[in-house]
Amino acid sequence: MTIDLIQLADQITLTPYQALGIPLALVGAVFLAIGAQFQHQGVAIVESNLGDHQRAGLNLAQLRALFARPSWVLGTLMLGLAVVFQLASLIFAPLIVVQPLGAIALVITAIVNARVSKIPLDAVSIRAIVACMVGIGLFVTVAAFVAKSRPITEVQLITVLAILAVVLTGWAVSFGLFRKRVSPTYYIVGAGMLFGFVVTLAKVVIDRIKTISLDSFRVSDAEWLTILCVVGLVAAGLFGLYFVQTAYSSGPPDLVVAGLTVIDPIVAVSIGIIVLGEAAGAPPWSIFAFVVAAAIAIWGVLSLARHHPHLRPEARTVQARA
C-alpha cells in the first residue's frame, strides 16, 4: 500500500512551489463568498428602492446608489481581495489547477445565505450544490496529475484575444436586443464566461511579465499583444462586473456564485487546455474525465437555477415580510 501511494504521488505533476497556489486560491474563495453576500445585500436594497422590476439591467441611478451602500462597498473590497489572492495563486500554479478551487465559495455562500435569509436549502438545492462540488473536485484532481504551465506563444495570444472579441460582441448584441426578456441565468452565464476570460488573460499577462523579467526586461516587438490582453481583461471585467450586479438584483447570491465558480473555471480551463496547451500530452482518459466533471458541475448549476428555494413563491413572501 505504501509503495502504491508513493508511485501515485510521483505521478503528480505539481511541484512544491506550484502547490503554494492552492492555499492562496482557497483563501480567495473565502473572500469571494463573503464579498458576494455583502454585495447582494447592497444590490437588493438599491433594487428595492429604485428598481422598476423590468429585468433590463441596472441603470445609472442604481449604479451610483450602490456606492452609497456600506454593505456593497465592503463586499466590493472583499471581492477585490479575492481577486488579489486569485492572481497570486496564478503566479505559482497552472490555471487549470487553482481556478476551479473557487467552487468552495459556493458552499460557504449557500450556508451563509440560508442563515441570513432564514430560507433553508431543500434537498434538491443541496444535491445541486454537491454536484457542483463533485464535478469541480474531480476536475482539480485530474488537473493535478496532468497540468503543466508552458510558455505562451504569440499565436496562442492572438487566438485568445480573437475568441474574446467574438464573445464580447455576442454578449453585447444579445444584451442590447433581449435584456428586457432574459432570466437571471442569462446574466450568471454571461458573467461566468466573461470572468473566465479575465482569469485567462490575467494568467497570460503574469506569465509574459515573468518572461520579460527573465530576459532582463527586454521588450520584443510583439509586446503590444500584452497591452491588448490588459485592454481585453479590463473590458471583460467591467462587462462581467455589471452582469454580476444585475444578477444579484434578480437572484440569490449562492446561485450567482454557483455560476461564477463553475462556468468561470470551465471557460478558463477549456482555454488553458485547448489554446494554451496546459494539458498537452495528457492521456486520453484525462480528457474524458474533464468532460464528465464539467457536465456534472454544469448540471448542478442548472438544477440550482431551476429549483432554488429562494425562487419559490412562498420564499418571496418571507423575503417581502423581512
Axis crossing angle, helix 154-178 with helix 184-214, rounded to the nearest 10: 160
Rounded Cα gap, residues 276 and 158, in angstroms: 11
3-state secondary structure the chain: CHHHHHHHHHCCCCCHHHHCHHHHHHHHHHHHHHHHHHHHHHHHHHHHHHCCCCCCCCCHHHHHHHCCCHHHHHHHHHHHHHHHHHHHHHHHCCHHHHHHHHHHHHHHHHHHHHHHHCCCCCHHHHHHHHHHHHHHHHHHHHHHHHCCCCCCCHHHHHHHHHHHHHHHHHHHHHHHHHCCCCCHHHHHHHHHHHHHHHHHHHHHHHHHHHHHHHCCCCCCCCCHHHHHHHHHHHHHHHHHHHHHHHHHHHCCHHHHHHHHHHHHHHHHHHHHHHCCCCCCCCCHHHHHHHHHHHHHHHHHHHHHHHHCHHHCHHHHHHHHHC
* pLDDT given for residue 14 in this prediction: 59
Rounded Cα gap, residues 116 and 119, in angstroms: 8
User: Is 25:101 a contact under the CB 8 Å cutoff?
Assistant: yes
Q: What is the mean pLDDT of each run of 10 residues along the chain (322 residues)?
A: 43 63 86 86 78 61 82 88 85 74 77 77 83 82 71 80 90 85 82 86 78 52 75 89 82 76 79 75 80 84 70 47 42
* pLDDT given for residue 17 in this prediction: 66
Give the three cell numbers for residue 142: 485530474
242 half-sphere exposure, CB direction, 13 A CA radius? 17
Q: What is the pTM of this model?
A: 0.74
Give the three cell numbers for residue 15: 511541484
* pLDDT given for residue 321 in this prediction: 43
* pLDDT given for residue 9 in this prediction: 42
Give the three cell numbers for residue 233: 481583461
* pLDDT given for residue 7 in this prediction: 43
User: Is 136:318 a contact under the CB 8 Å cutoff?
Assistant: no
Rg of the chain, C-alpha, whole Å:
20
Rounded Cα gap, residues 290 and 97, in angstroms: 12
User: Is 90:149 a contact under the CB 8 Å cutoff?
Assistant: no
* pLDDT given for residue 11 in this prediction: 45
Rounded Cα gap, residues 108 and 32, in angstroms: 9
Q: What is the pLDDT of residues 169-201, one digit of tens each?
A: 999 898 888 877 777 788 888 888 888 888 888
